[in-house]
Structure 1
Amino acid sequence: MKLPNVVQELIKAQNNFDSVAYANLFSETSVVYDEGKTHTGRKEIQKWIAEANEKYKSVMEAVDYKETGTKGILSAKVSGTFEGSPAVLKFNFEMNEGLIKSLKITG
């Protein structure tokens, strides 16, 4: 499966629990929606993913990827210390100039 570089790097950063590298894949004004909360801007995204890494210890493995224009949907098997692990989650991306503009994570 062919993944855009930014998505490959996101998976790598997640699996290395590297919140700085993860956040740097987003634009300064990016928005992330996860678990009913919105996180706006690179600093908030870094704080969110650092806390999620500490809490859930999640690693991900790409299962499928579909892309239409600037939008992509990654289906990934996510394993960690959360109830129902492992689970296949959908990462709904919108990209702009090689960075992630928005990300919505759904079950």
Structure 2
Amino acid sequence: MNLPKVIEELVKTQNEFDSSAYANCFAEDAQVFDEGKTHIGKAEIEKWIDKSNRDYKATMEPVAYDEKEYILSAKIAGTFPGSPLVLKFHFTMADGKIQSLKVTE
């Protein structure tokens, strides 16, 4: 699977539970849409993923990637109900950073 470098880094930092490095994959004004909430800016994204890491200990295993649409399908396993499950990560990129991320089922 040929993932863009920044998405490879995102998966790596998620699996290491490194919230700061995870947030650094995003542009300063990036947006994340997950579980019905929007998180704007790197600082807010870092707080969101840090809480998620503490609450769910979720790891990512890429299973498919749509290079045209920038959609990563990944098996997510952790301490949450229904684990593991496959989620879709819809990316918008700019200048080698993630501009937006929307997580869907």
Q: Tell me the TM-score range normalised by the shorter chain.
A: over 0.9
How far off is 1:66 after superposition?
0.5
Distance between the aligned counterparts of 1:74 and 1:17, measured in 2? 19
What is the aligned partner in structure 2 of residue 53 from structure 1?
Answer: 53
How far off is 1:67 after superposition?
1.8
TM-score by length of 2: 0.98
For 1:64, the aligned partner's letter is A
Aligned pairs (5 A) from 1:62-101: 62-68=62-68, 71-101=69-99
How far off is 1:12 after superposition?
0.2
Q: Give secondary structure in 2 for the equivalent of 1:52.
A: helix
Distance between the aligned counterparts of 2:3 and 2:27, measured in 1? 19
User: Per-residue displacement from partner, 1:22-52 (whole Å, max 9, x unpaired)?
Assistant: 0000000000000000000000000000000
Distance between the aligned counterparts of 1:67 and 1:33, measured in 2? 20
What is the aligned partner in structure 1 of residue 2 from structure 2?
Answer: 2
Runs of 4+ in 1 over 6 A off after TM superposition: none
Q: Give secondary structure in 2 for the equivalent of 1:92.
A: strand
Q: Which structure 1 segments of 5+ residues have no match?
A: none
TM-score by length of 1: 0.97
* CA RMSD after TM alignment: 0.6
Distance between the aligned counterparts of 1:30 and 1:96, measured in 2? 10
What is the aligned partner in structure 2 of residue 26 from structure 1?
Answer: 26
